[in-house]
Structure 1
């Protein structure tokens, strides 16, 4: 059941935010000046109104997806970062000491509640438009660049998306150890999504076996994001 659960944070530690999240922080200004209540109206028909069990507030879930879009992270890593990044917690409307949800909850929301990518893009674009109107951000700021990049990204085919993700993953590995090129599998030469998925799986396996490299944050994040995309594509193919 969808409920308007956003409220003032009640915590003995809430003053921490004034110490660690600057007044000019983009996420702080977004949170304080943008009214995200339009999310309730847009997602109203995505929730069951006869089930008495409360869902995680949809505004918080949408904010997670907005952060995911801006910072280009997997569900796992965006939730992980929200454990310790106070600007994230503040933006999400969480108390400093509050525990974060399981990444699987975000994945479920993303797949079941927001299966329509056009709806997600509309919600993100509307948020950005409000932020520009409120003069919180400028047209050349990182959040707009990120959302515009995402819009272009969504125009790519699933295979092109995997190719882009795997390229960024390889690049992050090469920055640490260029000799890894010799260990990587041959790239797919067909236009089949299945072949690209197979290549990505082999690539990920090689990197995972190199623990000294796979645990580097910049590699791990890109590895998790590629894994998420591969799993999404496999699920889509199975359903299709």
Structure 2
């Protein structure tokens, strides 16, 4: 029988907020295993203790942001509208059904005035990683690193051309020392003392977001981007490090310093790392060797032949040159070299042996297993970030604000993964307890335990 639905929107009902949230909701799982109380202590020094208007609870403030990142809500204004009508969000934030939701400007003003010069987002990220370590979900034995691009909030057609200094690698001091040693080993005079000059090049600078970088990479879109350099632990793919640079910074530039930060901050005993071909440089290979860490890195095959040693240049390359007397009469000279002095020059880095060790690792059975895990760890982490957590675009402008976005998004991903893993383990333990209890009751064994 067809009946018309009666309207009940104005009726009063006696309900609790908790009863309206499904027991298996993601926010319930996060609330059960993640401790947010540390946020108070970390931000206390940023608030006035004895005067001024009562401040919004900082735990509530950051939990609101986490809701936005967990569920891919890109706009903070839209986030506030969603919190107003979503009972699960209100339950997680400990807001009553009738409580007023803070205005979006509260977040922006706290970001601009209170947290602008602080490192609170990094501290929150680190604390969640430590909670994962204490739960046994992170061991730091094998780490995977890569980068992904976020489109800057800038028009790629509005730019000025400027000459700027290129980023410097973080291993140049060690390279200078080894160049001097290599010169001495070959009986050569040391190179004349000269401070390294930063390499300058003309590049495009965005008029809208000058701190972004114009990215030009094979197979990637061209335009103004930021790079999220991310490291993931092999055990459960929890993110252990986030570092943001303009889009025109090479992946290898900040890698070693970020690796050192994780070892110092979390006490990781890193045994091996898995990286893609963008990290296959002599500096990375030597840095890993010095740290007694095995590297498994993708490879792009070079070409060339090795000739007689001539010298070691300031860039760290040994130069091997042919004899001009031999080359001058060689019938294949034109196909080999076009130099005016009839000399073929081939270079080999002073750290080439370290590169060759990396290549051997990649071809070994254990190296193949480690490299195969890249797509299940760091690449999967980026895919989830882009698909589920709004990580394709930079929400705000400026390196500091994009760094905040990347740190909070990674923190949200870690909280989600920790909650899902631990609640799954808890459900397994409950099921095992139920099976044992039923078996004991059935056989009349351990009646007290069965009860």
Name the TM-score, length of structure 2 as normaliser.
0.29
How far did residue 133 of structure 1 move?
Answer: 5.8
CA 1:16–1:40 in structure 2 vs 1: closer, same or farther (change >3 Å)?
Answer: closer
Displacement of 1:49 in angstroms is 0.9
Match of 1:162 in 2: 153
Q: CA deviation at 1:132?
A: 8.1
Question: Secondary structure of 2:153's partner?
Answer: helix
Q: What SS is found at the alignment partner of 1:192?
A: strand
Q: What are the within-5 Å matches in structure 2 for residues 29-108 of structure 1?
A: 29-70=29-70, 71-108=72-109
Shift of 1:101: 1.2
Q: Report what 1:229 is aligned to.
A: 396
CA distance in structure 2 between the partners assigned to 1:106 and 1:42 by the alignment: 17
Report deviation, 1:16: 3.6
**1: distance between equivalents of 2:132 and 2:87?**
21
Matched residue, 2:213? none
CA-CA distance at 1:89 after TM superposition = 1.1
Q: Name the counterpart of 1:113.
A: 114
Partner of 1:192: 205
Going from structure 1 to structure 2, the CA distance change for 1:23 and 1:115 (only over 3 Å counts) comes to same
Which structure features the higher share of strand residues? Answer: 2
> Cα RMSD between the aligned structures?
3.8
| 3-state DSSP of counterpart to 2:122 | helix
Unaligned segments of structure 2, at least 5 residues: 1-12, 139-146, 161-203, 211-389, 402-451
Q: 2:56 is paired with a residue of what secondary structure? A: coil
- Runs of 4+ in structure 1 displaced over 6 angstroms? none
The one-character-per-residue Cα deviations of 1:132-176 (angstroms, maximum 9, x if unpaired) are 8669xx99xxxxxxxxxxxx67x97xxx5225xx7xxxxxxxxxx
Larger Rg: 2
Contact map agreement 2:77 2:104 (CA 8 A) in 1: yes
Work out whether residues 61 and 109 of structure 1, in 8 Å CA contact, stay in contact via their aligned partners in 2. Answer: no
Q: Distance in 2 between matches of 1:106 and 1:59?
A: 12
Give the secondary structure class of the aligned counterpart of 1:229: coil
Number of residue equivalences: 156
CA distance in 2, matches of 1:121, 1:27: 22
Q: Distance in 2 between matches of 1:134 and 1:30?
A: 14
Q: Measure, in 2, the Cα distance between the counterparts of 1:13 and 1:111.
A: 42
Distance 1:63 1:195, change over 3 A: closer
Mind listing any 5+ residue stretches in structure 1 that lack a counterpart?
Answer: 1-11, 140-151, 167-185, 198-221, 236-240
1:8 corresponds to which residue? none
1:34-63 CA-to-partner distances (Å, cap 9, x unmatched) read: 221101110011101121531111110111
Over 3 Å counting, the alpha-carbon distance change for 1:99 and 1:38 in structure 2 is same
Quick one: distance in 2 between partners of 1:61 and 1:53? 16
